[in-house]
Structure 1
């Protein structure tokens, strides 16, 4: 029995470790439900969640990432009021901070489609459509995840990073859309391990600071349509 209802929650501003712990709790609960169904030959529906959040300044390093892509030592992190976490998603290093919309879809892909590449492309498409609503033409960069501007020329710059974990077709972690963050914080890392490309934000591209609550509504709608889900 496929359950396409998705519980939405906006955690507001929340420190990274607390958000990660809450994600893990939800993720583990869904995995346990699937294990129970399998062990008992039952078909109780599993839950799906979509979480929006902002984080205080933090750098996170994926399991395949290189620590040297963080260009700060412990004292410099303190000076920047930033923290650092090694985590269990894919991808390399990235930055999260105020003004960046972070999305954590914790979905049982058995309720939608069991294809992790399609999952990533569908998330990217929802972001691309959101940016299009603001007149920003974005797309994909062959060989890289995320959403890019001018990916076909030397001006290529990333506006949204993706990094996910998937186990038993349950997802966690997700995407980070640069709405209006302080882009100087990206200068302290080699973003996603790519040392010859720039990052950008909606604010920089538009010349004004978009309303974050409006961006959330538009993006949530595109996610729900792209995945054919019902947000509750």
Structure 2
């Protein structure tokens, strides 16, 4: 564990970026952070370096990603169909099943050393969800969790028509995190019809725009979400 605690988090908005390019960038930061932690182990406290923290926001062109616990048959498209829809497909190293990313969605990649915050992956996941829940509350939407399922849902209590509005999938090693969440804001929901989202067949997917009946200012949502994350994690955003 680090003896130096760093609450500073470098925020970067990567804009619209290819999924693989963003993935490689995450991997680079992730590896560098773990390298600092490894080097610190053999050093006296006075010689240790603080580990960095990053919060990346972006949008991706149409892409489907399959996590380690996912099933490939949850993608309902053939290779030719992917090309026709201008979509890509990747198997990746996060937890979870298959999901979709596309324009109009806020994808967040916190690359945090949890030794700087709290060393509990369950609490980490629930805190990410809470930031989304608070952001949706800013728009008058009551969102929450469904037991046994990750992500953020609408109609999560009565569950007459439960709708997922945010998916989560993370990887962590030595308490350093990568991957994260995808909040549907102005997302083209028809692309979810080509998969069994997160392996769940009996529940729908929605977006902030669909619930509000109008297109939403993506930058406004991004700013609200960033501020809720900063407060919940006691981050000092840079």
Q: Place the TM-score, normalised by the shorter chain, in its bin.
A: over 0.9
Distance in 2 of aligned mates of 1:76 and 1:154: 33
Q: Secondary structure at the match of 1:71?
A: coil
Q: Does 1:226 align with 2:229?
A: no
**Match in the other structure for 2:172:** 166
Number of residue-to-residue matches in the alignment: 232
Distance in 1 of aligned mates of 2:126 and 2:10: 22
**Match in the other structure for 1:130:** 135
**Match in the other structure for 1:106:** 111
Distance in 1 of aligned mates of 2:171 and 2:85: 28
**Match in the other structure for 1:206:** 212
Query: Equivalences for 1:1-232 in 2 at 5 Å?
Result: 1-42=4-45, 43-152=48-157, 153-232=159-238
TM-score, normalised with respect to structure 2 = 0.96
Distance in 1 of aligned mates of 2:75 and 2:231: 37
Distance in 1 of aligned mates of 2:120 and 2:147: 19
- The list of structure 1 runs, each at least 4 consecutive aligned residues, that deviate by more than 2 angstroms after superposition, is 39-43
Distance in 1 of aligned mates of 2:190 and 2:200: 16
Distance in 2 of aligned mates of 1:206 and 1:154: 19
Distance in 2 of aligned mates of 1:149 and 1:62: 24
Could you give the per-residue CA deviations for residues 33-61 of structure 1, whole angstroms, max 9, x where no partner exists? 00000133443110000000000000000
Distance in 2 of aligned mates of 1:137 and 1:118: 21
Q: Secondary structure at the match of 2:143?
A: coil
Q: Which runs of 5+ in 2 are unaligned?
A: none
Q: Secondary structure at the match of 1:40?
A: coil
Q: Which runs of 5+ in 1 are unaligned?
A: none
Distance in 1 of aligned mates of 2:124 and 2:189: 28
Distance in 1 of aligned mates of 2:59 and 2:175: 26
TM-score, normalised with respect to structure 1 = 0.99
Distance in 2 of aligned mates of 1:115 and 1:181: 31
Shift of 1:97: 0.1
Could you give the per-residue CA deviations for residues 53-105 of structure 1, whole angstroms, max 9, x where no partner exists? 00000000001100000000100000110000000000000000000000000
Distance in 1 of aligned mates of 2:211 and 2:88: 28
Provide the alpha-carbon RMSD of the alignment: 0.6
